[in-house]
């Protein structure tokens, strides 16, 4: 078994229970779906005060901004809980798609982030079927991709990256939202079970 632990700052351990539950179920789900067990003995989720990024997947240890991982029961809104569950599922998807298997270079960032964004919805749809995840995907992710793609400033989902200085320019909603929308279209076209086989 995998030991999953949430590390908040002292005094906030109760606020990590929701995330712990989501992470434990998500790891088990992904191992089943991908046919590849999570290869480490532990999965640590760390709540960091004033963390600049929303979250960052590291091999076996994911760091999160506190607002992206901690739930104060009776105070945290339903939409915030959904966002937290999505973020947890997204970052854990990277343990397989980003850490075990990773693109050759940053030009394929859209693939890494698009797959993780798509899989976060697969995760929450399985863990919380009552949330109607695919309606949220269509409105939020696909709708955003369509709006951004209609702009003059849009760019292809895959952008050639020639140097490390250019990496920050492609970490945008085109890579995430349009990438996930393309991945979902492929999965829908070939069928989910065929998609999972690669």
DSSP-assigned letter for residue 46: E
DSSP-assigned letter for residue 70: -
**Length reported for the chain:** 198
Q: Is the dihedral of CA 182, 184, 190, 194 positive or negative?
A: positive
Rg of the chain in Å (alpha carbons): 17
Q: Which residue has the tokens 């963390």?
A: 51
Return d(Cα 136, Cα 73) in angstroms, integer. Answer: 23
| DSSP string for residues in 72-107 | -TTTS-HHHHHHHHHHHHHHHHHHHBTTTB--SSGG
Half-sphere exposure of 179 (CA within 13 A, CB side): 23
Which residue, 67, 61, 24, 27, is CA-closest to 45? 61
Active site amino acids: 91
């Amino acid at each position: 078994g995998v030991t999953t632990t949430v590390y908040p700052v002292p005094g906030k351990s109760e606020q990590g229970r929701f995330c712990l539950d989501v992470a434990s179920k998500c790891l088990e789900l992904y191992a089943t779906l991908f046919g590849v067990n999570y290869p480490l003995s532990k999965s640590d989720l760390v709540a960091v005060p004033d963390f600049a990024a929303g979250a960052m997947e590291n091999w076996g240890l994911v760091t999160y901004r506190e607002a992206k991982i901690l739930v104060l029961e009776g105070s945290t809104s339903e939409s915030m809980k959904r966002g937290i569950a999505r973020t947890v599922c997204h970052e854990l998807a990277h343990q397989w798609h980003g850490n075990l298997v990773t693109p050759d270079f940053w030009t394929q960032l859209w693939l890494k982030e698009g797959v993780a964004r798509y899989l976060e919805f697969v995760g929450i749809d399985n863990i919380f079927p009552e949330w109607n995840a695919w309606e949220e995907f269509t409105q939020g992710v696909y709708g955003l991709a369509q709006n951004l793609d209609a702009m003059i400033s849009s760019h292809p989902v895959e952008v050639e990256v020639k140097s490390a200085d250019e990496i920050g320019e492609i970490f945008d909603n085109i890579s995430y939202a349009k990438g996930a929308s393309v991945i979902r279209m492929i999965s829908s076209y070939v069928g989910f079970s065929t998609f999972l086989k690669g």
